[in-house]
A and B are shown apart, each in its own frame.
Chain A
């Protein structure tokens, strides 16, 4: 199978200056399990574009590092 890599605008934005390396609150509560840590920086990011814009990640982030946008296709 031949595959291409496409760019997509993802809904969950993480402010890396606020994201705590040892915290996984957003990752644990995401129903779709789309957030992971970047192993190099320890910061969370949205790895999979599968978002229900439900907001637990944003609400449970202790440092308000997360902003959830409505996905572009719906916005």
Chain B
């Protein structure tokens, strides 16, 4: 096996939304610095937005809304547990991101007077800006990465961050085609590997039929954990209302401004806001269990031209294969509601609040290690939040690396990691990764899918701890299979975190995301705090409370309760 030794000033792990922006901003801040994006796929079509996006959902446009209003909305939607300063950044810098994207050729929808044509999807504010031609977003970002002379290494998957004397000094991984062992020394590292989208098992049973791009297997959550960084609110799962079986968005964010809405089998509304929140998911769960299910996205009351316009957006962006899915079932928005279901669980701050703990500078608790995008703990952050946090990490990392030198990695660490990575190749007839992953993710469904019950979660936790033995049975016949095997390691780590964090927080919060049957009420007295975890000195996972940072925007949470039920 070949060994590649690389060196860079700033290593960006993951070349999706946040990662490409982190690289670009770092080079803008210091054109002389060496910046390397490491990507396990190809940045041209990787990450959550492989086929672009139909709109940005957290656009704070001056004259329309303010960062303070946005922080207030997210504080209420997230039941008060957040670092407002981090959320503020999304509101503060989002407009500049939009303007810069526009200067690069990304088209946002405008009205007849040339103003941004914003739509309301959130409960109070207006933050959704459609991008009906957003399908080539990744291609545009890739062009800018090249123009800014950011180096890119595609098809290499990172497996561990290297840490020495308490700070990040690079990362280790392997080439998923050639199998080379890759060691990268860096002065600073940002993790932007997206959500843990392959945690629960989709009801279809297809391992890759997930809402998130299935390459996003929780790599960054696991790598940050093993680097010693804190993670937060992992019990606040991502659960989405999705097209049944297809498991992608239906998508109310596009269709509801045209008059579509989520309805029960009788065609009636049961929620008054289609914005994705834990409270909205809890109402959906109740409706499905009330005898009035299934629920559907209702468009059949709209006129033909309106539906054609919705189709033009939905069938070109984000998940364009929706068109052939509906076609295959001979269903049409004019005559059929889009049958929806509650997804399996995942971890993603883009839609909920879990993630690697970061402050408003995108710093984790390990010096030199940053996190951005869907895996960083900035709640309800969506794509604009990923761009903003990527931007912030790139700029701050460039500042940090000024007085830092490269550090020689520890030889024992490298030897141990090499042995761990390549073990499945020594067992080509070992259990296939597909079977090992399937069973692990079925356990996640069996024991962690809300509503959560304590004994179930105990059994699940024991199964995940025991699962190290199953990982040791996995066999791979080539570097591609090895990539999937190592992803199963990431998924196991995330499953254990999800179980421990859910057992730790002895209350219910965030609607369905953390609905405990044994503690069905919110308990602010004991649990108005973050539930954080990290790898302790002994190597065991430790849970602890972290106080909520003082608010910078006043919100009276006793009066302003997030409630979207139709009564």
Please tell me if the beta carbons of A56 and B50 are within 8 angstroms of each other in the complex. Answer: yes
How far is it, in angstroms, between the C-alpha of A29 and the C-alpha of B154 when the chains are bound? 11
Please tell me if the beta carbons of B177 and A33 are within 8 angstroms of each other in the complex. Answer: yes
- Across the two chains, which residue of chain B brings its CB closest to A27? B42
Please tell me if the beta carbons of B208 and A75 are within 8 angstroms of each other in the complex. Answer: no
Q: Chain A, 7-50, contact with B by CB distance < 8 Å: what is the 0/1 string?
A: 00000000000000000000011111100000000000001101
- With A32-B41, A52-B213: A75-B325 Cβ-Cβ less than 8 Å: yes
Please tell me if the beta carbons of A54 and B206 are within 8 angstroms of each other in the complex. Answer: no
Please tell me if the beta carbons of B247 and A55 are within 8 angstroms of each other in the complex. Answer: no
- Across the two chains, which residue of chain A brings its CB closest to B475? A1
Q: Tell me how many residues of B have a C-beta within 8 Å of chain A.
A: 41
User: Which residues of B, 296-333, contact A by the 8 Å Cβ criterion?
Assistant: 319-321, 324-325, 328
State which of B92-100, B403-411, B425-433, B517-525 sits at the interface with chain A.
B425-433
Q: Which of B46, B208, B245, B431 contacts A50 (CB 8 A)?
A: B208
How far is it, in angstroms, between the C-alpha of A50 and the C-alpha of B205 when the chains are bound? 12
User: Which residues of B, 16-72, contact A by the 8 Å Cβ criterion?
Assistant: 41-42, 44-47, 50-51
- With A50-B214, A56-B50, A74-B206: A30-B41 Cβ-Cβ less than 8 Å: yes
Please tell me if the beta carbons of A28 and B324 are within 8 angstroms of each other in the complex. Answer: no
Residues of B within 8 A of A55 (CB): 51, 320-321
Please tell me if the beta carbons of A54 and B207 are within 8 angstroms of each other in the complex. Answer: no
Please tell me if the beta carbons of A50 and B50 are within 8 angstroms of each other in the complex. Answer: no
Tell me if A68 counts as interface (CB < 8 A to partner B).
yes
Residues of B within 8 A of A66 (CB): none
Tell me if B484 counts as interface (CB < 8 A to partner A).
yes
- With A54-B51, A75-B325: A31-B209 Cβ-Cβ less than 8 Å: no
Please tell me if the beta carbons of A68 and B215 are within 8 angstroms of each other in the complex. Answer: no
How far is it, in angstroms, between the C-alpha of A32 and the C-alpha of B245 when the chains are bound? 20
Residues of A within 8 A of B177 (CB): 33
Tell me if A51 counts as interface (CB < 8 A to partner B).
yes
Please tell me if the beta carbons of A33 and B51 are within 8 angstroms of each other in the complex. Answer: no
Give the number of A-B contacts (CB < 8 Å): 89
Please tell me if the beta carbons of A74 and B208 are within 8 angstroms of each other in the complex. Answer: no
Please tell me if the beta carbons of A31 and B213 are within 8 angstroms of each other in the complex. Answer: yes
- Across the two chains, which residue of chain B brings its CB closest to A29? B45
Residues of A within 8 A of B214 (CB): 32, 50, 52
Residues of A within 8 A of B429 (CB): 1, 3
Please tell me if the beta carbons of A74 and B484 are within 8 angstroms of each other in the complex. Answer: no
Q: What is the distance, in angstroms, from A19's C-beta to the closest C-beta of chain B?
A: 19
How many A residues are at the interface, by size bracket?
Answer: 20 to 34
Residues of A within 8 A of B490 (CB): none
Residues of B within 8 A of A70 (CB): 246, 321, 324-325, 328
Residues of B within 8 A of A73 (CB): 204-206, 209
Most chain A CB atoms below 10 A, which of B177, B208, B319, B429: B208
How far is it, in angstroms, between the C-alpha of A30 and the C-alpha of B215 when the chains are bound? 11
User: Which residues of B, 324-362, contact A by the 8 Å Cβ criterion?
Assistant: 324-325, 328
- Across the two chains, which residue of chain A brings its CB closest to B210? A52
- Across the two chains, which residue of chain B brings its CB closest to A67? B324
Q: What is the distance, in angstroms, from A21's C-beta to the closest C-beta of chain B?
A: 19
How far is it, in angstroms, between the C-alpha of A48 and the C-alpha of B45 when the chains are bound? 18
How far is it, in angstroms, between the C-alpha of A29 and the C-alpha of B320 when the chains are bound? 16
How far is it, in angstroms, between the C-alpha of A53 and the C-alpha of B246 when the chains are bound? 10
How far is it, in angstroms, between the C-alpha of A31 and the C-alpha of B45 when the chains are bound? 6
How far is it, in angstroms, between the C-alpha of A3 and the C-alpha of B476 when the chains are bound? 13
Tell me if B151 counts as interface (CB < 8 A to partner A).
no
Q: Which of A1, A48, A54 contacts B480 (CB 8 A)?
A: A48
Please tell me if the beta carbons of B204 and A74 are within 8 angstroms of each other in the complex. Answer: yes
Residues of B within 8 A of A74 (CB): 204, 206, 209, 245-247, 325
Please tell me if the beta carbons of B41 and A33 are within 8 angstroms of each other in the complex. Answer: yes
Q: Provide 22 A-B residue pairs closer than 8 Å at the C-beta atoms, listed in order of the A residue.
A: A3-B432, A28-B44, A31-B50, A33-B41, A33-B155, A33-B176, A33-B480, A48-B481, A51-B208, A54-B51, A56-B44, A56-B50, A56-B51, A68-B321, A70-B246, A70-B325, A71-B208, A73-B205, A73-B206, A73-B209, A74-B209, A74-B247
Instruction: Beyond A1-B431, A30-B45, A71-B204, list 4 extra A-B contacts (CB 8 Å).
Output: A28-B44, A53-B321, A68-B324, A69-B324
The 9 A-B residue pairs with the shortest CB-CB distance in the complex, in nearest-first order = A56-B45, A31-B41, A29-B45, A73-B206, A53-B321, A73-B204, A74-B204, A1-B429, A74-B245
